[in-house]
A = this chain, B = another copy of it.
Amino acid sequence: MIENDIFKALADPTRRAIFEKLANGRLNASALRDGMDISQPAMSQHLAVLCQAHLVRQERQGRFVNYEVDPDGLAHIAGWLAKYRAYWPARIDALKTLLKDMDQ
């Protein structure tokens, strides 16, 4: 079940940090490690988990493997969230502010 893979992948703070980095642009595995205090195998394993959850996708470029955000996983979360839109109105004001802030 993809939903399970997604939430399990995001349950780890290190993986969320990796994902956040990739949200600023594609990077290879080594570049991702910069300033992260994480071993090379650990990074490789985390990226594998993110890939399996379709949160990240890879593309080999010669000796390097570039990673980037896969919209597929995000869309799945959005879809999951949409199921509970009945409960959003109670917080819609905060969300609208948040979305407006994101726009700037």
Chain A: residues with CB nearer than 8 A to chain B? 1, 3-4, 7-8, 10-11, 13, 16, 20, 23, 69, 71-72, 74-75, 77-79, 81-92, 94-99, 101-104
Contacts and interface: CB of A to CB of B under 8 A. Distances in A.
Nearest to A19: B84
Contacts of A91: 71-72, 74-75, 78
**For chain A, what secondary structure do more than half of its interface residues adopt (helix, strand, loop), or is it mixed?**
helix
A75 B102 contact: no
A90 B94 CA distance: 23
A10 B95 CA distance: 20
A79 B99 CA distance: 8
Contacts of A1: 13
